Homo-oligomer: A and B are copies of this chain.
Amino acid sequence: MAAASWSGALSKMQMLYMSDHASVVSLNLFVALLCGCIVIGHLLEENRWMNESITSLLIGLCTGVIILLTTGLKSSHLLVFSEDLFFIYLLPPIIFNAGFQVKKKQFFRNFSTIMLFGAIGTLISCTVISLGVIQFFKKTGLASLDMGDYIAIGAIFAATDSVCTLQVLNQDETPLLYSLVFGEGVVNDATSVVLFNAIQSFDLNNINHQIALQFSRNFLHLFFTSTMLGVLTGLLCAYIIKKLYFARHSTDREVALMILMSYLSYTMAEMFYLSGILTVFFCGIVMSHYAWHNVTESSRACFATLSFIAETFIFLYVGMDALDIEKWRFVSDSPGTSIAVSSILLALVLVGRAAFVFPLSFLANLGRKAPKETISFRQQVIIWWAGLMRGAVSMALAYNKFTSAGHTHLQDNAIMITSTITVVLFSTMVFGLMTKPLIRLLLPLPKHGSGAMLSGSSTPKLLSHPLLSGERDSDGELVLPDFPRPNSLTALLRTPTSTVHYYWRNFDNAFMRPVFGGRGFVPFVPGSPRV
């Protein structure tokens, strides 16, 4: 261990003062490319097709081509990153920031729909893709895959990329769609973890109802503990900041503590084999609810900045990684197979998502009494479309499954890897590029009547369910209008979310805010005037 650390020190000093110059040059070029992505992404912002993730991806691809040509088709990498860079350093700030900035009211109002999409939907999608793969893959010549591989492929391509969603959908313009698709992506991660563990631990040749039961029990356990871990860490952080009155000194200590404690929640979740994404997302929600008001505005910018850099980094890196020549060498012998596999997978992704979005939206609409609150068909189309992107998560899962040592059929595995890259690039570029125009086509902003969708910052009048309506004050906090106490049990049965929300507000104002901080500490007075 000391030897490792010594040689580490050595290699560093060499890098700084002597040889290993190449890695500094690479790092330098990579940072310069990141700067370029930000500037070019900014310049193209007005463009109706582009968004920043696609810009970064394209810059990554172009750089990959240039490096390929200059190195004589040897490498397309600037930096040889291991993929834990993605899971350990880049993903947590993005998801935390998403939780921190998410409109909590929208998220919790649609909680049941999000769970429906994220859990049941992912399972349906995975099943459809697995069945399709079983059906079609034998015709393409990929014969070496077994049952476990097929289900793994289903799990890999059922994993919606939350990072893409953040880039493509706008929280202010389409809050309902944003919270549904992004929320689904977060829950989706928990489902994927359970699916992956299930594939490893269960005997897949004997699928019966007992295994299904165990599976759903595992999922519920994972979901609940991950959420609680995030909530508890967030509360602890808020309590420490409020109790120790960090503001006495300076903001940087508070923000540092928030960053570190949210990161701690992520690593703790991973340590306990939970879903880190789910944990850090709820940690962000709780921190923004309580710690937020003990801290200044600057923390928001700090989180947003870190998240923005991480996002740009990911897309740039995925773009460059996709051209890695080693991965394509096996495929060059059978280009037809590779194209066929990629096309089948893309078609299955489209079908698999359609297979749950439309039926589950119908189910969700049954529970939404107010006609203004239902998910319209046009919105369903957008939900279907905006979740089609596959990203770094799919690539990491594919690497894990198809590069392990136990596999001997290198040809088939290489084709699966390159097909994954193709699906990721194609879905991000083509589906991603078409999302902005599609939203503009289906939901022209000023005319369309679906108020719930267009509420948020732009529309002053909320048309959604009356008990949940109310205006956000400047801090984005919900201020409840004067409403009578709901008639407990009957109300709970009729409008469960609203009633839960009512009691939660009372509890929040009476106990949580005084202890953990948060705006105002004002006890809820039922007859208080609307602010």
- Once A259-B309, A301-B301 are accepted as A-B contacts, the answer to whether A400 and B21 lie under 8 Å apart by CB is no
Q: A363 within 8 Å of B by Cβ?
A: no
Contact of A252 among B27, B39, B197, B305 (CB under 8 A): B305
Contact of A84 among B8, B39, B244, B297 (CB under 8 A): B8
Q: A327 within 8 Å of B by Cβ?
A: yes
Which residues in window 252-287 of A have CB below 8 A to B?
252-253, 255-257, 259-261, 263-264, 267-268, 270-271, 273, 276
- Once A75-B1, A81-B8, A84-B8 are accepted as A-B contacts, the answer to whether A257 and B39 lie under 8 Å apart by CB is yes
Give A326 Cβ to nearest chain B Cβ, in Å: 3
- Establish whether residues A24 and B267, one from each chain, have CB atoms under 8 Å apart when the complex forms: yes
Q: A441 within 8 Å of B by Cβ?
A: no
Q: Which residues does chain B contribute within 8 Å of A224, judged by CB atoms?
A: none
Q: Mark A474-512, 1 if CB is under 8 A from B, else 0.
A: 000000000000000000000000000000000000000
Complex Cα distance, B399 from A298, in Å, reads 39
Which residues in window 76-101 of A have CB below 8 A to B?
77, 80-84, 86-88
- Establish whether residues A77 and B1, one from each chain, have CB atoms under 8 Å apart when the complex forms: yes
- Establish whether residues B260 and A35, one from each chain, have CB atoms under 8 Å apart when the complex forms: yes
- Establish whether residues B256 and A305, one from each chain, have CB atoms under 8 Å apart when the complex forms: yes
Q: Which residues does chain B contribute within 8 Å of A7, judged by CB atoms?
A: 82, 403
Q: Mark A3-26, 1 if CB is under 8 A from B, else 0.
A: 111111111111111100100110
- Establish whether residues B82 and A304, one from each chain, have CB atoms under 8 Å apart when the complex forms: no
- Establish whether residues B255 and A305, one from each chain, have CB atoms under 8 Å apart when the complex forms: yes
Q: A362 within 8 Å of B by Cβ?
A: no
Q: Which residues does chain B contribute within 8 Å of A251, judged by CB atoms?
A: 301, 304-305
Complex Cα distance, B151 from A401, in Å, reads 54
Q: Mark A385-397, 1 if CB is under 8 A from B, else 0.
A: 0000000000011
Q: A438 within 8 Å of B by Cβ?
A: no
Q: Which residues does chain B contribute within 8 Å of A16, judged by CB atoms?
A: 87, 270, 276
Complex Cα distance, B41 from A244, in Å, reads 11
- Establish whether residues A308 and B39, one from each chain, have CB atoms under 8 Å apart when the complex forms: no
- Once A28-B267, A298-B302 are accepted as A-B contacts, the answer to whether A81 and B5 lie under 8 Å apart by CB is yes
Which residues in window 148-190 of A have CB below 8 A to B?
none
- Establish whether residues A296 and B305, one from each chain, have CB atoms under 8 Å apart when the complex forms: no
- Once A256-B38, A305-B252 are accepted as A-B contacts, the answer to whether A400 and B299 lie under 8 Å apart by CB is no
Give A505 Cβ to nearest chain B Cβ, in Å: 30
Q: A412 within 8 Å of B by Cβ?
A: no
Q: Which residues does chain B contribute within 8 Å of A9, judged by CB atoms?
A: 82-83, 396, 399-400, 403
- Establish whether residues B308 and A256, one from each chain, have CB atoms under 8 Å apart when the complex forms: yes
Interface size class of A (residues with CB under 8 A): 35 or more
Complex Cα distance, B18 from A45, in Å, reads 42
Q: A34 within 8 Å of B by Cβ?
A: yes
Which residues in window 218-258 of A have CB below 8 A to B?
240, 244, 246, 249-253, 255-257
Q: A525 within 8 Å of B by Cβ?
A: no
Q: Which residues does chain B contribute within 8 Å of A276, judged by CB atoms?
A: 16
Q: Which residues does chain B contribute within 8 Å of A75, judged by CB atoms?
A: 1
Contact of A326 among B1, B196, B297, B404 (CB under 8 A): B1
Complex Cα distance, B170 from A39, in Å, reads 37
Give A396 Cβ to nearest chain B Cβ, in Å: 6
Q: A32 within 8 Å of B by Cβ?
A: yes
Q: A145 within 8 Å of B by Cβ?
A: no
Q: A193 within 8 Å of B by Cβ?
A: yes
Q: Which residues does chain B contribute within 8 Å of A270, judged by CB atoms?
A: 15-16, 24, 28
Q: Which residues does chain B contribute within 8 Å of A80, judged by CB atoms?
A: 1, 4-5, 8
Q: A31 within 8 Å of B by Cβ?
A: yes
Q: Which residues does chain B contribute within 8 Å of A327, judged by CB atoms?
A: 2
Give A85 Cβ to nearest chain B Cβ, in Å: 8
Complex Cα distance, B34 from A13, in Å, reads 26
- Once A28-B267, A271-B21, A302-B305 are accepted as A-B contacts, the answer to whether A35 and B261 lie under 8 Å apart by CB is yes
Closest 6 CB pairs of A and B: A8-B82, A2-B326, A13-B400, A9-B399, A298-B301, A12-B84
Task: Provide a sorted-by-A list of 21 A–B residue pairs whose CB atoms are within 8 angstroms.
Answer: A2-B326, A3-B326, A5-B77, A9-B400, A11-B82, A11-B84, A12-B82, A13-B83, A13-B399, A17-B196, A25-B271, A28-B267, A28-B270, A42-B249, A250-B304, A251-B305, A256-B305, A296-B301, A298-B301, A298-B302, A302-B305
